[in-house]
Chain A
């Protein structure tokens, strides 16, 4: 079966971001960008499904500026077969992204779509679920185990109190949680080979999707800083402070 994986280019998770002085957003100039960690897990899962003989083709898609081709090449080096860039220079909300992905799903007709559970920049956790609604497919969010069996996929999900397993009819949408797998690294020969794999570029207009949004960001601020704390010398002093100064125990 064909698997579609959506990936996003985001600021690297190790970078401590700074809010711009004019409060218009965070400063992303000259900051290291990478594939969103949850998307790496999604690519890895698709590659493992192919290695098991379950998946026959892996198509990776991203929506973003031209520079997002880097992340597509990374996914190709990890084992995806071909890539699609939906070129858009605006910052899109999840609903617009889901609509664009729906158009790609309509065209590609995958049996399984794998996304990360959330992007570490917007922290929305929406796109996979929205794509589920738009396509009418079942959704297995926060997956820590994915097993394809016939025309169904069993997904074990991380929920607040533990784990839950659901059986979804294919085609279905799966969003990855951290413990689904440990992504591999791309080898140098594979990085070289990835440069020759096909990468198509399309525009939202060509897909017939409007990316207008009903939500706008008025300002972005730094969070309130915590007051500098003190170092105590002993457990006795710590307990004394907690009891008499902070009054929390």
Chain B
């Protein structure tokens, strides 16, 4: 019995979410193999080999995998599983990132098994917990599939140590480019602040910020706290900030030590993305706002006065 973890990486480096996924694999139990599929991904493979608890790293280095196109990567994973046969992989895990969500269901269908999305807890090797209805219910699901294909919500598992392991690195040959899709380009938002899903403190703004310029108040506070900056869907839809800052059911799921919601009413959609934060602070001038029902500390005040004052005190 072995578990195959699909590494989340940028070819040059491993993404933090991989460490949470390995943690979930460790809870299931069994040998943990990590697949690094990419192009010139030696650095990412080396990092994967150092993860505590990893037994083997498989590297598929091929130009076809450079941008993780699912039409190319999914058949590779399915082939690795099929080659091993009945004694091979019992589980395939990937982080529930945009990449993992893109590739893994395609793998599941190629293997003709159901997939379990965004698990937050491992009950046993075949039973898992996952949120449904925007986090308003938690389902316990059991799989009888020969290969369990699962995406892992990073905030549900504490990451394993990035150092301390010394796994063997083995090259695997992949299939050729499927020729169905091609990477054209990408436009990544630049930010010096901590990555939203990994930040210990997150400061988020909503429609109450009134415009994009006013987000400077939050950036300034965030820099002082070493925090990431997020936003509600209302703020993104209004064009205040880019959509990769969105926290919620349809955006990113965060669970920092401290979440400060500024000018956010607290719609179900938004709460789904942040209600597992350890401490929630709400600053809103409407004392009836639903956000106060989940906030540990609420301050009914005008954010344009409270935020600069807060920055001055911390």
A→B interface (CB under 8 Å): 11, 13-14, 16-17, 19, 26, 93-95, 98, 117-118, 120-134, 136-139, 141-142, 144, 154, 157-169, 177-179, 213-223, 226-227, 229-236, 238-239, 241-242, 246, 248-249
User: B188 — which chain A residues lie within 8 A by C-beta?
Assistant: 161-163
B→A interface (CB under 8 Å): 67, 69-71, 74, 97-99, 101-110, 112-118, 127, 131-145, 179-189, 197, 201, 225, 233, 236-237, 242-244, 249-250, 252, 257-258, 268-269, 275, 278-281, 287, 292, 294-301, 306, 309-310, 313-314
Residue with the greatest number of chain A CB neighbours at <10 A, chosen from B69, B114, B237: B114
Q: How far is the CB of A90 from chain B (nearest CB, A)?
A: 14
Taking a contact as CB atoms under 8 Å apart, the answer to whether B299 and A238 are in contact is: yes
20 contacts between A and B (CB under 8 A): A13-B269, A17-B136, A95-B113, A120-B249, A159-B99, A163-B188, A165-B183, A169-B181, A215-B116, A217-B141, A220-B137, A223-B137, A226-B280, A229-B280, A229-B292, A232-B299, A235-B306, A235-B309, A242-B281, A246-B279
User: B135 — which chain A residues lie within 8 A by C-beta?
Assistant: 223
B interface SS class? mixed
User: B74 — which chain A residues lie within 8 A by C-beta?
Assistant: 133
Taking a contact as CB atoms under 8 Å apart, the answer to whether A236 and B242 are in contact is: no
Q: What are the 5 A-B residue pairs with the smallest beta carbon separation, nearest first?
A: A133-B109, A129-B105, A130-B109, A126-B105, A214-B145
Please name the residue on chain B nearest to A218 by beta carbon: B140
In the bound assembly, the distance between CA atoms of A178 and B244 in angstroms comes to 12
Please name the residue on chain A nearest to B78 by beta carbon: A133
In the bound assembly, the distance between CA atoms of A118 and B301 in angstroms comes to 37
Taking a contact as CB atoms under 8 Å apart, the answer to whether A126 and B184 are in contact is: no
Q: How far is the CB of A230 from chain B (nearest CB, A)?
A: 6
Given known A139-B71, A163-B187, A214-B144, contact A230–B314 (CB-CB < 8 A) = no
Taking a contact as CB atoms under 8 Å apart, the answer to whether A94 and B115 are in contact is: yes
Taking a contact as CB atoms under 8 Å apart, the answer to whether A238 and B244 are in contact is: no
Residue with the greatest number of chain B CB neighbours at <10 A, chosen from A16, A19, A219, A229: A229
In the bound assembly, the distance between CA atoms of A163 and B205 in angstroms comes to 21
Taking a contact as CB atoms under 8 Å apart, the answer to whether B180 and A238 are in contact is: no
User: B182 — which chain A residues lie within 8 A by C-beta?
Assistant: 166-167
User: A16 — which chain B residues lie within 8 A by C-beta?
Assistant: 136, 268
In the bound assembly, the distance between CA atoms of A235 and B237 in angstroms comes to 29
Q: How far is the CB of B184 from chain A (nearest CB, A)?
A: 4
In the bound assembly, the distance between CA atoms of A226 and B70 in angstroms comes to 39
User: B297 — which chain A residues lie within 8 A by C-beta?
Assistant: 229-232, 238, 241-242, 246
Which residue of A122, A139, A161, A223 contacts B136 across the interface (Cβ within 8 Å)?
A: A223
Taking a contact as CB atoms under 8 Å apart, the answer to whether A178 and B299 are in contact is: no
User: B113 — which chain A residues lie within 8 A by C-beta?
Assistant: 95, 214
Taking a contact as CB atoms under 8 Å apart, the answer to whether A139 and B144 are in contact is: no
